[in-house]
Every structure is written in structure tokens, then in C-alpha cells.
């Protein structure tokens, strides 16, 4: 029997609950962006499920060095072992539009990363997709205060509408 596909809202609510638990934990003394790692990995896996990609086929590989660019995005993302892009995680509240970063380190990093064909920037509450330095669409901002919303975190109406219009397809016949 096929595994039921969760709703977009269920995926976002689960992510919100995980982020809230991490950021509110008194033991979370490290970098706030580090607290987003596990919830983001689960979000990516849940999005794969929404797309009916079998579990384990989408993998986020942490801290993948790009020697030629002299940088290391937070994640390289593979689908069925093929590299499809990268994710750069910033601290909550920093934003997901690297053109607006003021910090010298973040600006220099963007100059190196913007040559990549597929990179997602996120601060946990906002997400943007870039192709070779060009923004694809608009920055997506989840609705609700990331640190406090928990299961009340929601996808914005535009993302909900886009998801509702997406064609549903049967799960691929691929061994996990």
C-alpha cells in the first residue's frame, strides 16, 4: 500500500514545530543557523514526498566544499545520487535575498556562489532559488514568526496556489 502523501500545510507545520523546538531549547547555545539544519533536512525530505519521490532519493550532503570557488555551501543536494543544486543557510531573520546582505563575509560569499546553476538561500523563514545569479520568481516568506509559530507556521497563499496547481503524478517506480 503506498504511503499517503502529506499536505503542503502539514509539511510546513511539522517544520515550524521542529524549528520552534530547536530555537527555543535552552541548550541551543551555538549558531542559530545551525539549529535550522535538522528541520531543513526533514523539510527537504517532506517536499520530496510531496513530489512523490521515494524516501531516501533526495539527500542533503552537509558542508560540501567547492574548491574551485573557494567556498563551502551548507548543503549539496542530490536526487538519485545526481547533484542538482546547493543550499546556503543563514541565521533566522537575515533574509533569503543575498543581494541585500550587508555583512562583508556574506557579500563575498554571494559573489562566489552566484555562479552556481541552482542554489537556494534560506534563513529558515524565507527561501529563494537562484540560477547562475538570477532570482527565479520571488523570495518565498513563510507566514508566522519562525521562532514562535510552531505548527501555526504556514505557506503563503501564492505557494499554496502553486502547489494546488501542480500536476499530481504517480510515484516513480524506482527502488529506494
Question: pLDDT tens digits, residue range 33-65?
Answer: 899 999 999 999 999 999 999 999 999 999 988
Q: How confident is the model at residue 168 (pLDDT cuts 50, 70, 90)?
A: low
The rounded mean pLDDT for the chain is 90
Q: Is residue 172 domain-resident?
A: no
Q: What is the pLDDT of residue 26?
A: 82
164 or 20: whose pLDDT is higher?
20
CA dihedral 101, 105, 108, 112 (to 10 degrees): -100
Q: Is residue 138 domain-resident?
A: yes
Unique residue bearing C-alpha cell 527537504: 44
| Range with lowest mean pLDDT among 6-10, 76-80, 140-144 | 6-10
Q: Is residue 155 domain-resident?
A: yes
Q: Which three cell numbers stand for residue 111?
A: 559573489
Q: Is residue 81 domain-resident?
A: yes
Contacts of 64 (CB under 8 A, 6+ apart): 72, 73, 75, 76, 86
* Average pLDDT for 156-162: 88
Query: Residue 88 and residue 118: Cα distance in Å, rounded?
Result: 11
Q: Is residue 174 domain-resident?
A: no
Residues 89-117 have pLDDT tens digits of: 999 999 999 999 999 999 999 999 999 99
User: What predicted TM-score, i.e. pTM, was given to this entire model?
Assistant: 0.90
Q: From 139, 146, 150, 173, select the one nearest 52 (Cα to Cα).
A: 173
Give the total number of structural domains in the chain. Answer: 1
Residue 2, pLDDT > 60, answer no
Q: Is residue 175 domain-resident?
A: no
Which H helix or E strand runs over 129? strand 126-131
Provide the domain limits for residue 43.
8-165
Q: Which three cell numbers stand for residue 92?
A: 533566522
Q: Is residue 34 domain-resident?
A: yes
Amino acid at each position: 500500500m503506498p504511503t499517503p502523501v502529506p499536505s503542503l500545510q502539514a509539511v510546513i507545520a511539522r517544520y515550524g514545530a521542529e524549528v520552534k523546538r530547536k530555537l527555543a531549547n535552552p541548550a541551543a547555545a551555538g549558531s542559530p543557523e545551525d539549529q535550522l539544519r535538522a528541520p531543513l533536512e526533514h523539510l527537504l525530505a517532506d517536499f520530496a514526498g510531496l513530489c512523490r519521490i521515494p524516501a531516501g532519493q533526495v539527500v542533503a550532503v552537509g558542508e560540501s566544499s567547492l574548491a574551485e570557488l573557494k567556498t563551502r555551501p551548507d548543503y549539496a543536494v542530490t536526487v538519485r545520487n545526481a547533484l542538482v543544486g546547493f543550499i546556503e543557510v543563514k541565521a533566522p531573520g537575515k533574509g533569503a535575498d543575498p543581494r541585500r546582505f550587508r555583512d562583508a563575509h556574506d557579500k563575498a560569499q554571494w559573489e562566489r556562489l552566484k555562479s552556481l546553476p541552482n542554489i537556494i538561500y534560506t534563513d529558515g523563514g524565507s527561501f529563494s532559488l537562484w540560477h547562475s545569479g538570477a532570482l527565479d520568481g520571488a523570495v518565498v516568506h513563510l507566514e508566522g514568526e519562525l521562532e514562535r509559530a510552531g505548527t501555526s507556521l504556514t505557506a503563503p497563499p501564492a505557494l499554496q496556489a502553486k502547489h494546488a496547481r501542480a500536476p499530481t503524478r504517480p510515484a516513480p517506480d524506482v527502488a529506494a
